[in-house]
């Protein structure tokens, strides 16, 4: 090989090396470019993943809100705040479509915190006379926007001025444009909302971006569905809540709500030393309306009363249907004089209405005031009822103001009677029990719960199966039944005292008779038959202030068909108070366990009550009793 051949070979090797280096450089460049593209893709996918995660968190937040049973306004406000905070929109709010006598309009029902409408209100403070949420917004006259709403499609636009000026045409466009520039808003997205396939309103979000991606549209579409579900669920919760506290027929509050409200109102009244008045109202002659025209017209009369109460109530008043044809109205901050004026206004309004077929209807009303007639809720309601029934007894269609409790206190008579019985040892109670009960009587004030405790303790002394609290329940049930028969205040007071005392004669009977498991002998029955006489003659007759109670107690075991004891009288010859005691006592006896049988359920006991109609008690008494236990007593 010559010199020049060596040079050529060396040059070829150099060319090969250069070619190899160049080839490696290209490969490295390609690898670098691929890595750069991969890193960019990773950054993009990471951002998309973060956005998707925020979207999922937002949807989860909405789902949590939907299951919180909160009011719809709270749910919607939480939703728009989630949308703003987690997805980066500048502002968001929800407008609802509404209408009135002037036509259709839009109103803001939810807005994100520090929302643009607040800034807008500050910027145009000279225009807004009230909060923007209270304004009736006009629908923007933008054809594309209207089409999107009508077709339930998401709409995005950069025409922010057209949207805002469309809502509020009175604003100056130039100032609105300056506001938009300062707020850094570049576009808005409108998402139509529906509830139960009816257009509800729209979600509107303001973005700092001029365009919106397809994935964002997809999310907002899904977001809208979740909002619509939230609206439906919130409405359902509200409907269920209203059903729980309102009367289905009239739309007024029900007894449960009334009883809860009056307790709270009493606390407020005591704290502020401010009176409130209760008006009790009873539709006159409902039974005659039902009998002559049918129950549909009876229902019409009841609904008419409800409408009168709604139309004559202030926003702070509470009107409730207590059951049947009875209504109560609470007037916060009103004394008896104001209550009488309000009651008379209601009475006249009812009387002025003429109904189809029925003609004019009337109502009897009673008025009692907390901190004026009584400081006890139960007694206040009782006084209201008694005043109402006084109106009925005096000819109906009138208003009666209750008498203060201290003028007619049946509790004081009962306390004094128990004190006399115990201190003078008129019944065989052991000394320790007698002293304990006497101390309770000395400590108690009128209406004190200890009155019932004393009665329960005495009953338990001869009836170990007696349920604590039973005497109070008997008094309450007897009082409800007495109202159905329109007993006067005086007769109702006698009945309550009689319920506390009627069974006291059993303390004089041998305990082995009362606890006997086997059938009673003739001698046993004769002893038991004498306990009303014992209670009336031996125990109570020496006590002067209950002399007029004695005939009630003496006859409380007489049966309607004359088979009772001790005198076998029958029918109307038996005082109604005695009849009420018999049916109430029999019912509670059926509920209690006895040595010879198990306790019955409420329905089993009521079945026995019905079976004994026209034998132990009249059919009318049994029907009224069963109705009260099923509907008004628990």
pLDDT digits (tens, 9 = 90+) for 262-305: 999 999 999 999 999 999 999 999 989 999 999 999 999 999 99
Mode of pairing for the β-strands spanning 399-401 and 363-370: parallel
- Kindly give, in sequence order, each residue whose CB lies less than 8 Å from that of residue 436, ignoring residues fewer than 6 positions away: 457
pLDDT in tens, 170-212: 888 888 888 888 888 889 989 888 877 778 888 888 888 888 7
CB 139 within 8 Å of CB 95: no
Average pLDDT rounded to a whole number, residues 518-539: 56
Task: Say how many domains are in the chain.
Answer: 3
Beta-ladder partners of 95: 108, 202
Average pLDDT over residues 92-108: 82
The parent domain of residue 197 ranges over: 72-244
Give the residue-averaged pLDDT of 562-580: 91
pLDDT band at 404 (very low <50, low <70, confident <90, very high): confident
Specify the range with the lowest mean pLDDT, choosing from 3-12, 51-60, 111-120: 51-60
299: in domain: yes
pLDDT tens-digit map of 204-240: 888 888 887 777 777 777 777 777 777 776 666 666 6
pLDDT of 422 above 80 = no
Mean pLDDT of 410-421: 70
Q: Which of 103-107, 239-243, 565-569 has the lowest mean pLDDT?
A: 239-243
Residue 569 is assigned to a structural domain of this protein: yes
- Residue with more model confidence, 350 or 191: 350
Greatest mean pLDDT range, 79-93, 230-244, 330-344: 330-344
User: What single DSSP character describes residue 518?
Assistant: S
**End residue of a domain, out of 407, 428, 461:** 407
Q: In what order do the strands lie in the sheet with 399-401?
A: 318-323, 326-332, 276-283, 363-370, 399-401
Using CA atoms, how far apart are residues 496 and 549, in angstroms rounded to an integer?
10
Among 62-71, 89-98, 570-579, 588-597, where is mean pLDDT lowest? 62-71
Which tens digit of pLDDT belongs to each residue from 351-362? 999 999 999 999
CB 203 within 8 A of CB 193: yes
400 and 443 both lie in a single domain: no
pLDDT of residue 300: 95
pLDDT of the residue at 217 = 78
Residue 113: inside a domain: yes
Residues 339 and 416 in one domain: no
Highest mean pLDDT among 185-189, 240-244, 524-528: 185-189
Residue 120 DSSP SS3: helix
Does 440 fall in a domain?
A: yes
399, 494: one domain: no
Q: Mean pLDDT, the chain, as a whole number?
A: 79
420 and 356 in one domain?
no
pLDDT at 468: 46
- Give a yes or no: residue 560 inside a domain: yes
CATH number of the domain that residue 336 is part of? 3.30.70.270
Does residue 66 carry a pLDDT above 80? no
**How large is the average pLDDT for residues 323-338?**
94
Quick: pLDDT tens for 126-145.
666 666 667 788 888 888 88
- Peptide bond preceding 548 in cis form (omega within 30 of 0): no
Q: Indicate whether 536 pLDDT > 60.
A: no
Give the C-alpha separation, 541 to 533, whole Å: 10
Question: Within this chain, do residues 572 and 598 fall inside the same structural domain, yes or no?
Answer: yes
For residue 56, is it within any domain? no
């Amino acid at each position: 090989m010559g010199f020049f051949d060596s040079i050529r070979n060396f040059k070829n090797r150099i060319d090969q090396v250069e070619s190899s280096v160049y080839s490696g450089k290209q490969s490295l460049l390609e690898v670098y470019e691929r890595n750069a593209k991969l890193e960019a893709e990773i950054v993009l996918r990471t951002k998309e993943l973060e956005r998707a995660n925020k979207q999922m968190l937002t949807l989860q937040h909405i789902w949590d809100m939907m299951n919180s049973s909160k009011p719809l306004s709270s749910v919607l406000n939480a939703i728009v705040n989630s949308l703003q905070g987690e997805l980066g929109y500048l502002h968001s709010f929800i407008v609802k479509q509404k209408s009135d006598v002037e036509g259709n309009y839009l109103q803001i029902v939810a807005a994100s915190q520090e929302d643009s409408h607040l800034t807008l209100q500050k910027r145009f403070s000279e225009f807004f006379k009230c909060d923007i949420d209270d304004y009736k917004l006009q629908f923007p006259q933008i054809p594309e926007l209207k089409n999107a709403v009508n077709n339930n499609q998401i709409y995005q636009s950069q025409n922010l001025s057209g949207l805002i000026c469309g809502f509020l045409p009175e604003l100056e466009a130039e100032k609105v444009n300056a506001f938009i520039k300062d707020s850094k808003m570049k576009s808005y997205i409108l998402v139509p909302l529906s509830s139960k396939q009816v257009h509800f309103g729209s979600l509107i979000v303001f973005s700092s971006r001029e365009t919106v991606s397809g994935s964002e549209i997809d999310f907002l579409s899904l977001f809208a569905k979740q909002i619509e579900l939230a609206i439906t669920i919130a409405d359902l919760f509200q409907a269920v809540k209203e059903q729980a506290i309102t009367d289905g027929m009239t739309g007024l509050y029900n007894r449960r709500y009334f009883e809860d409200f009056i307790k709270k109102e009493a606390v407020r009244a005591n704290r502020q030393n401010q009176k409130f008045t209760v008006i009790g109202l009873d539709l006159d002659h409902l039974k005659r309306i039902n009998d002559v025209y049918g129950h549909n017209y009876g229902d019409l009369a009841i609904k008419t009363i409800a409408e009168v109460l709604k139309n004559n109530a202030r926003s702070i008043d509470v009107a409730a249907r207590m059951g049947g044809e009875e209504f109560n109205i609470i007037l916060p901050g009103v004394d008896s004089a104001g209550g009488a004026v309000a009651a008379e206004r209601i009475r006249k309004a009812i009387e002025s209405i003429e109904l189809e077929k029925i003609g004019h209807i009337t109502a009897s009303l009673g008025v009692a005031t907390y901190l004026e007639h009584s400081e006890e809720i139960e007694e206040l309601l009782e006084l209201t009822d008694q005043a109402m029934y006084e109106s009925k007894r005096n000819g109906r269609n009138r208003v009666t103001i209750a008498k203060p409790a201290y003028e007619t206190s049946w509790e004081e008579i009962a306390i004094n009677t128990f004190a006399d019985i115990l201190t003078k040892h008129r019944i065989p109670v052991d000394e320790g029990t007698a002293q304990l009960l006497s101390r309770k009587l000395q400590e108690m004030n009128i209406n004190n719960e200890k009155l019932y405790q004393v009665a329960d303790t005495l009953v338990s002394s001869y009836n170990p199966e007696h349920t604590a609290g039973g005497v109070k329940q008997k008094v309450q049930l007897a009082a409800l039944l007495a109202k159905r028969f329109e007993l006067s205040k005086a007769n109702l007071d006698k009945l309550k005292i009689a319920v506390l005392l009627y069974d006291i004669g059993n303390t004089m009977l041998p305990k082995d008779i009362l606890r006997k498991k086997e059938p009673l002998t003739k001698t046993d029955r004769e002893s038991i038959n004498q306990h009303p006489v014992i209670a009336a003659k031996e125990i109570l007759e020496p006590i002067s202030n209950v002399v007029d109670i004695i005939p009630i107690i003496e006859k409380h075991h007489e049966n309607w068909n004359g088979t009772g004891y001790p005198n076998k009288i029958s029918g109307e010859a038996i005082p109604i108070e005695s009849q009420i005691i018999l049916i109430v006592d029999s019912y509670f006896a059926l509920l209690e366990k006895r040595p010879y049988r198990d306790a019955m359920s409420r329905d089993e006991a009521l079945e026995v009550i019905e079976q004994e109609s026209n034998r132990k008690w009249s059919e009318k008494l049994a029907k009224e009793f069963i109705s009260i236990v099923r509907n008004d007593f628990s």
